[in-house]
Chains A and B, each alone.
Chain A
Amino acid sequence: MNDLLKVKFISSKKGRGVFAEKDILKGRIIDVAHVVLIPNNEYKQIDKTLLSNYCFEWKNPKYKLENKMALAMTICQFMNHSYSPNVKYEYNYRNDTIKFKTIRDIKKDEELTVNYGGMATSKDPVWFEVE
């Protein structure tokens, strides 16, 4: 159980989202997610499925030839996208992990969001309509 986060159903359009179980201060690491690396030849198949929505680009120079995508095993996968997110994530190629960290104070029951573009300030378009 993650003691800070819970998943809740929002609406049939938005699906599920992640919410704060309690007040969370800025700078708090909310999860360190281990990833499963996906070989390139297999990703061609996965790319055509709904799991492509959950995969991260994995640019570890060490794996360049074999792996370029990864699936993170974390409740943070259920976080929705926002262009003004309250959580950011960082890759750790040495440990095959992704660290999720709050970038401002979050109140209990507030929704947690990340920018799917990677950088918290990215304005890159995402592959679905943003409200």
Chain B
Amino acid sequence: MHEYIEVKYISEKKGRGAFAKKPIKEGTIIDIAYVVPIPNKDYKKIYKTILYNYCYIWEDPEHMPAFRNAITLSVSQFINHSFEPNVKYLYDYESKAIEFSAIRDISKGEEILVNYNALVDDKSPMWFEVE
């Protein structure tokens, strides 16, 4: 079972979200999400489907330019977006994983949020409406 994250249904509009199972200290690595790199020819098909929402830009020098995207298969996929996130993520091309860590203390039961722009303070608009 996952040590830090549980998935809960929020509402019809927001869908599911990720919540802290226990108090988390700033700096804690809460998830290592392993990726499946996607060849560009496959990504062209995936781009038009629901799974597009779950893909990351993945420019691993080892696989460029035939691969530019990847999907992680991990509970961290259910983390919602916020421009004031409490978690950040970093790409680790060597381990083929995305590492999620807390950027402040998080209380038990609090929703876990990341900025989908990858950089914590990047305010570029999302492809959906942000509340």
A32 within 8 A of B: yes
The answer to whether the Cβ of B85 comes within 8 Å of any Cβ in the partner chain is no
Chain A residues whose C-beta falls within 8 Å of the C-beta of B71 in the assembled complex: 51
How many residues of A sit at the interface, in one of the four size bands?
A: 20 to 34
Tell me, in angstroms, the Cα distance from A45 to B44 when the chains sit together. 9
Q: Return the contact of B36 from the options A34, A36, A51 (Cβ within 8 A).
A: A51
| Chain B residues whose CB sits within 8 angstroms of the CB of A49 once the complex forms | 38, 42-43, 45-46
List residues of chain B with CB under 8 Å of any chain A CB: 1-4, 7, 16, 29-32, 34, 36, 38-39, 42-43, 45-46, 48-51, 54, 71-75, 77-78, 96-97
A2 and B46 form a contact (CB under 8 A):
no
Q: Smallest CB-CB separation from A39: which chain B residue?
A: B50
Q: A32 to B36, Cβ gap below 8 A?
A: no
Residues of A within 8 A of B (CB): 1-4, 7, 16, 29-34, 36, 38-39, 42-43, 45-46, 48-51, 54, 71-75, 77-78
- CA gap between A34 and B48 in the complex, in Å: 22
Nearest-neighbor residue (CB-CB) of A96 within chain B: B16
Among candidates A1, A32, A77, residue contacting B73 with C-beta atoms closer than 8 Å: A77
Asked if A36 and B38 make an inter-chain contact with CB atoms under 8 angstroms apart, the answer reads: no
What CA separation (Å) do A106 and B3 show in the bound complex? 20
Contact A46 B74, CB 8 Å, known A1-B30, A2-B1: no
- Point out the residues of chain A lying under 8 angstroms from B32, CB to CB: 1
Determine if B42 and A7 form an interchain contact, defined as CB atoms under 8 angstroms apart.
no
- Please determine whether B75 and A74 come into contact, CB atoms closer than 8 angstroms: yes
Residue ID in chain B nearest A34 by CB atoms: B7
- Whether A46 and B49, one on each chain, are in contact in the complex, defined by CB atoms closer than 8 angstroms, is yes
Inter-subunit contact B34/A1 (CB<8 Å): no
Contact yes or no, A54 B46, CB < 8 A: no
B72 / chain A contacts, CB cutoff of 8 Å: 73
